[in-house]
Amino acid sequence: MSPIITAFERSPDGGKGLARDMRVRWALEEVGQPYEVRLVSFSAMKEPAHLALHPFGQIPTYEEGDLALFETGAIILHIAERHPGLLPKDANARARAIMWMFAALNTVEPPILDLAIALIVERGEPWAKDRLPLVMDRVRTRLSELSHCLGDAEWLDGAFSAGDLMMVSVLLRLRPSGLLDEFPNLAAYVARGEARPAYERAFAAQRAVFTVSSVG
């Protein structure tokens, strides 16, 4: 039985692949696991049926038999542990790949989310113009550290892993800000992720949802 994931019925990004179902789709495509998608509206996400799956009323969720998961970190780790392709066999390399997943979610993503909030939610506030440069600098600091770590390598630790999948997914959110282009090795790293056939299939699938919902 194929797992079922949830995604926005109508993603606010207009199908640019920035909503977090994209990273789950990408992981499933990388390991060759077919999946089904249940689309949910913003109001349905806050109703009891969805809240039973996701206590915070968000997407994505992941259902497989009697297992139900929320949180993209947990979902991708589950996929990576169940299927070959996203975690190395060597125990130490595996632990380091998981470390990079956590680094993406806990260390790199928070300032990026703060920037998204500053640009979208806080834009009209009288103090927004003063705060924005500080928020951007916090992102720059993380990018500079990550850029140093990556150096000229193709991926963060040897072969492509769930750590790279998560890191590229997190960095993609920065594209509209132009900050990524200040670090050419990171921009190239993200482009390598996007060029993977599994990423392209996942992107096309989420994009198709938006195209259909805009026409209908």
Binding positions for ligand GTB, 65-84, rule CB under 6 A: 71-72
Q: CB-wise, 58 or 206, nearer to ligand GTB?
A: 58
**6 forms part of the interface with ligand GTB (CB under 6 A):** no
For residue 50, state whether it binds ligand GTB (rule: CB under 6 A). Answer: no
- 39 contacts ligand GTB (rule: CB under 6 A): no
146, 180 in Cβ contact below 8 A? no
Does residue 44 interact with ligand GTB by CB under 6 A?
no
Could you tell me the smallest distance in angstroms from the CB atom of residue 195 to ligand GTB? 21
Q: What's the CA gap between 211 and 175, in Å, rounded?
A: 21
Least separation in angstroms between CB 167 and ligand GTB: 14
Q: Is 25 in the site for ligand GTB (CB under 6 A)?
A: no
Q: Which residue is nearest to ligand GTB (CB)?
A: 58
How near is the Cβ of 91 to ligand GTB at its closest, in Å?
26
Residues in contact with ligand GTB, counted by CB under 6 A, come to a total of 12
Contact between 58 and ligand GTB by CB under 6 A: the answer reads yes
Looking at the Cβ atoms of 61 and 161, the one nearer to ligand GTB is: 61
User: Residue 20 CB, nearest distance to ligand GTB (Å)?
Assistant: 4
Which 3-state string (H, E, C) describes the chain?
A: CCCEEEEECCCCCCCCCCCCHHHHHHHHHHHCCCCEEEEECCCHHHCHHHHCCCCCCCCCEEEECCEEEECHHHHHHHHHHHCCCCCCCCHHHHHHHHHHHHHHHHHHHHHHHHHHHHHHCCCCCCCHHHHHHHHHHHHHHHHHHHHHHHCCCCCCCCCCCHHHHHHHHHHHCCHHHCHHHHCHHHHHHHHHHHCCHHHHHHHHHHHHHHHHHHHC
Compare residues 71 and 114 and give the one whose CB is closer to ligand GTB.
Answer: 71
In the complex with ligand GTB, which residue's Cβ is closer, 20 or 142?
Answer: 20
Smallest gap from residue 170 Cβ to ligand GTB (A): 10
Residue 12 binds ligand GTB, judged by CB under 6 A: yes
Amino acid at 135: V
Q: What's the half-sphere exposure (Cβ side, CA atoms, 13 Å) at 163? A: 22
The residues binding ligand GTB (CB under 6 A) are: 11-13, 18-20, 45, 57-59, 71-72
